Amino acid sequence: MDKLTNLSEIGEFGLIERLTKDNTLKNRTSLLGVGDDCAVMEYGESPVLVSTDAMAEGVHFDMMYTPLKHLGYKVCVTNFSDIYAMNGIPQQIVVSLSVSSKYSLEALEELYGGIKLACKKYNVDLVGGDTTSSKGGMFISVTVLGKGEKNKIVKRSGAKKNDLICVSGDLGAAYAGLLVLQREKVTFEANPSFQPDLKPYEYVIQRHLKPEAQKKIIEFFKEKNIVPTSMIDISDGLASECLHICKQSNTGCEIYLEKLPIDYQTSKTLEEFKILPETAALNGGEDYELLFTINQKDYEKIKDHDNISIIGYVTDESSGCKLITPQNTAMDIKAQGFNHYSNKNC
């Protein structure tokens, strides 16, 4: 009998690649399948974008410090982010919920209060779903449908040599917030009368518990007639997302560490944990900012935008994916973010 492969040996993305290899699209309505932020279908004049994401208690969220309303909001926004990453607009969601009897009706109403709040803010309709029992904890799966314009759908695979590499917002904050919450949980478990002062950490905690999708960036692209050559949302850390774009575009890249946008409170928080801010920005994940590449001709359109940073440029595939330090030293980019199938998580 052949040796069985442990999932920890290949990781999440290796698993996806193995399960979906040799998958061919058979219907003319299927324009884009596995391998991007969304699948793309065409049933009429406008392409339809579809993405799905799941969150499991004990893996993606900890009920010790996650308010149910925030959880409902977050599980929606993280899906909306996938649609924006394709330069589309989210329109509808369906929600499937598997939950144990430890949760009350009132608790689930609170969860759905967050879902409805996210839908209201982003103008998305909740149109259906499913509920089932669970023997332990909570499992939520959200499928989002969106629309895009023909010839303006942005894939991961379109980056070209000399394109500018840009990122929205700031990086590493969500990871910093998670570290604070995990630390306070440990302290509380040791001393239940402990009352934490979280005020100095409001920004990073909010970035972890209640992230926002980058709707305004997509609106800016439309206003300025910018179509990025490639794009992806930052859910697994900047390093991982850079590697995804370069792999699918058959390119290399150079990312400048000193150009990474990091908020002051993020840096101060990470100092307490003796973690370099650049490390969190590269590998922390869950920032839900947009990483995108643009042709240099669009530089003038984006150079003064307060929420967009140019962090590098696209190179030949043979050059590899490099981090450039302030001392002008080049290092290989390695994805070191969360691995769902690492033995450390078992």
Domain boundaries, the chain: 7-147, 164-345
Instruction: Please give the DSSP secondary-structure letter assigned to residue 219.
Output: H
336 token code pair: 């070191």
**Residue 149 identity:** E
What average pLDDT does the structure give for the chain? 89
Take residue 102 and report the two structure tokens written for it.
């430890």
pLDDT at residue 265 above 70?
yes
Report the pLDDT value the prediction gives residue 32, as an integer from 0 to 100: 61
Residue 8 scores a pLDDT above 50: yes
Radius of gyration, alpha carbons of the chain: 20
Would you identify the CATH topology of the domain 164-345?
Phosphoribosyl-aminoimidazole Synthetase; Chain A, domain 2 (3.90.650)
Q: How many residues does the chain have?
A: 346
Order of strands, edge to edge, in the sheet holding 138-147?
30-32, 39-42, 47-56, 138-147, 89-99, 125-133
pLDDT of residue 336: 76
- For residue 259, the one-letter residue type is K
The pLDDT tens digits for 157-173 are 999 999 999 999 999 99
Where is 115: in which H helix or E strand?
Answer: helix 105-122
Query: Mean of the pLDDT values across residues 31-37?
Result: 62
Question: Which has the closest alpha carbon to 89: 218, 185, 188?
Answer: 218
Could you tell me which CATH number the domain at 7-147 has? 3.30.1330.10
- 78-100: average pLDDT: 95
Write down the pTM of the prediction. 0.88
What's the pLDDT at 141? 95
